[in-house]
Chain A
Amino acid sequence: MTLLRHLAAAVCVAIIVVLLSTKLTPYRDYQMAEVAAYVTAVAGLTVLIGLSGQISIGHGAFMAIGGYSGALLLIHQGWPLEAVFAASAAIAAVAGAVFGVAAARLRGPYLAGATLMLAVALPTLANQYPKAFGGDQGLSVSITTPAFLGATFPPTRWMAWVTSAAALITLILLANLGRSRIGRNWRAVRDDEVAASLSGLNVARVQVLAFVISAACAGLGGALLAVVTGIVAPGAYTLTLSIALLTAAVLGGLGTLPGALWGSLVLVLVPTYLTNVATSHGLSGGASSSVPIAAYGVVLIVVMLVFPAGIQGGLRRLFGYPSVSPLNTLRRRAPASEHQEEGPT
């Protein structure tokens, strides 16, 4: 039944996406594709942090793995897109498994530190092996719209469809996982590792699984973004990207899948909007380039002040929904309440 409900919701969203994409300008379609790519990555991250309680500030590295895998497969093997996306996610998942096994021994800030190292170190590999990865200028990726859509079909609309479809499938899978035994195990481990292991859960295995799944999502997101932007290059996967993903997850509402969408919308739309405002108000040179960055910071601060539980938390409060969805939990892991939860509840 859950699966059916999620599928029904997904079909609704898909219809809206298709209708929207035909109404919007090609550039808005392009942004929609960008949002879909980020949603895929952020959804994985928000599940990792919100449900399994592990913090990663290095998911940009998994996007890089997915992006480069996708680019190399498209360029050298010429695989169809769906196979490329699946393979990119799988390769990132393997990388996530390797890293996750090592990381399962680490907790809190140490895990964050290890993922941070990954984010900083991995993209430079492209510079170490310029023959394979194209060095600093990366590899360029291009896709063509299928012939049956006609020659005049806007390529950005096709991109929006492809990426939105991939994002939706990811969201359905994550929504179901979150409500399944696996999701319950994650939450059990997140809330109390000792209690979880006393209940017979293999804590490390549960955590590694969460890491693998979120790495796969990031890898898929990376491949989608590579197709959208047409390039994979080390400059695209700096620490800034990892932080941006984390920002989107927190801003949208940690642990909530709709939150991943809100966060991604902010990530894509707000900087462009602010730049347009700055340039159209006649700010020139240094000012117009610095103002959007500063204003973006202000937006983040304001959102966190107004909606401490993220945008999704704020919406839920505004519309008075009770906080019941299994995927919207975990705003209660404040350090003060942690000890209380350790008691018998």
Chain B
Amino acid sequence: MKKSHRVNLAAVAGLAAVAMVAAGCSSSGGSGSPSAKSSTLTASAPGITPTQILIGSHQPLTGVAAPGYDEIAPASNAYFQYVNAHGGVYGRKIVYKYLNDQYDPTITSTVVHQLVLQNNVFAIFDGLGTPTHLAVVKYLNSSKVPDVFVASGCECWNQTSTQPYTYGWQVDYVREGKILGNYIKQHFAGKKIGYFYQDDEFGQDGVKGLDDEIPKSQVVARQSYNPTVTNVAPQVTALKAHGAQVVVSFSVPAFTALLRLNSLKLNFSPQLVVSNVGSDPITLAGLLESFAKQGGATVQGNQLTQGIVTDGYLPSLGSSGNTWIQLFSKIHGQYLPKLPFDGNVLYGMAVGYTFVQAMLKAGRNPTRQDLVNAINGGLPQGVSVAPYAYSASDHAGITGAYMGVIKNGVLAETGPTQVTDTSATGAITTYSTAQPPAPASGIPSP
């Protein structure tokens, strides 16, 4: 009896060894071989071969955060395919490998380790989510892997001393809160304001910005929600009970929709002011209709989003005369016709454009450090309405936004672009330089 037990353990050990080795073999040999053709292009860094640039990302392709956000990586990829078809980056093709982390930080850690250690990516690009990306930011910086253009507006990406390899991209939530707060101060003077925000870094940063601008006495209610609890009726009831006339919402699209539907149910109709991440009209309309359907009601999504005040840092999808919208609309039609041309697709293509800008600036045969140096040297304003903050001591991205209102399912610009910083006293100023037009080729110039 005893003998057989020992045999078991030994057999287990042996088989485990076989399993691990087999798993190891099955996935090796993925890296490309250097081609002799282009003599000046070298394999200058991990993930870079004479023919390709391999980058990776973690994205919520399934799970709670997937609706809407699962379009971002395919949209970036569509832009990369466009660039690849038009000569690539110094002749190299961008290969974008994005893995599903289901918005679970443990899975994020696993897939990012896989991308860095097994796939040998040059950089992690546009990793999506605050809690998820926080799980890997230390690892990426200690491994000296460029961690560019995180898809989250957390102020926490801008820590150049401890995280020299990490860069934000979209307007951070503090700046956004200040710009929204400033608008509310000017346009809703004397009205009772209620806050509705996600109880994490995202919502808290936003509230910080709002509080910098809105007089404390005007704020009658502060209601937060937990993204895993979909019942927000108590919060909406409290907002109504406090008589809020304006509700500012720092929420993801699903919770903006829940806020709107719960308000409708309670016959509560305050003016809604919603942060950019939670206000894409097309995503919102779809969510409103599907949530209402689950509850056995029929609503017109675009009717319910009518009049929502929000902000934008990329040109509005409705401005058909804008050269950027024309460019991305063309790429969308060619490479991504199955997805709607909405704010998420625009976001994905825009951040893809920024990456190509940075790679072109990093040089013909870039190292990882070259990419970091290129961004630290600043990137020219392109796809966004406000300039980037990038420098050696500032890793925040876009510095400002314009105010707008949703009309018939489209964001309509109502004010000029305003820029600011993240400090409590930093002034909000109008940025009057017109956005540069998109290059005719659709590819940034080196």
Contact = CB atoms under 8 A, between A and B. Distances in A.
A137 B16 contact: no
B440 interface: no
A27 B226 contact: no
A329 interface: no
B60 to A, nearest CB: 9
What does DSSP make chain A's interface, helix, strand, loop or mixed?
A: helix
A293 B61 CA distance: 12
A272 interface: yes
A28 B24 CA distance: 7
A26 interface: yes
Interface residues of B, number: 57
A9 B9 contact: yes
A27 B99 CA distance: 15
Contacts of B20: 20, 24, 28, 31-32
A138 B24 contact: no
A30 B117 contact: yes
Contacts of A34: 110
What does DSSP make chain B's interface, helix, strand, loop or mixed?
A: helix
A197 interface: no
B130 interface: yes
A290 B11 CA distance: 35
Contacts, number: 172
A78 interface: no
A257 B16 CA distance: 13
Contacts of A326: 5
Interface string B190-202: 0000000001110
Contacts of A225: 106
A234 B20 CA distance: 30
Interface stretch (B131-139, B357-365, B383-391, B393-401): B131-139
Contact of A27 (B16, B19, B113): B113
Contacts of B39: none
Given A156-B117, A235-B103, A12 B5 contact: no
Contact of A322 (B4, B11, B97, B104): B4
Contact of A265 (B1, B19, B226): B19
Nearest to A256: B8
B27 A276 contact: yes
Nearest to B136: A230
A285 interface: yes
A284 B199 contact: no
B13 to A, nearest CB: 4
A136 B104 contact: no
Interface in A97-145: 124, 127, 130, 135-138, 140, 142
A233 B9 contact: no
A2 interface: yes
Given A124-B228, A142-B138, A289-B70, A9 B13 contact: yes
Contact of A273 (B1, B23, B142): B23
Nearest to A141: B138
A290 B100 CA distance: 9
B114 A137 contact: no
Interface in B132-178: 132, 134-139, 142
Contact of A325 (B5, B19, B23, B200): B5
Given A229-B106, A325-B5, A31 B61 contact: no
B139 A124 contact: no
Closest 6 pairs (CB-CB, A-B)? A289-B61, A27-B117, A27-B118, A229-B109, A9-B9, A137-B131
Interface of B: 1-2, 4-17, 19-21, 23-24, 26-28, 61-62, 70, 74, 97, 99-100, 103-106, 109-110, 113-114, 117-118, 130-132, 134-139, 142, 199-201, 226-228
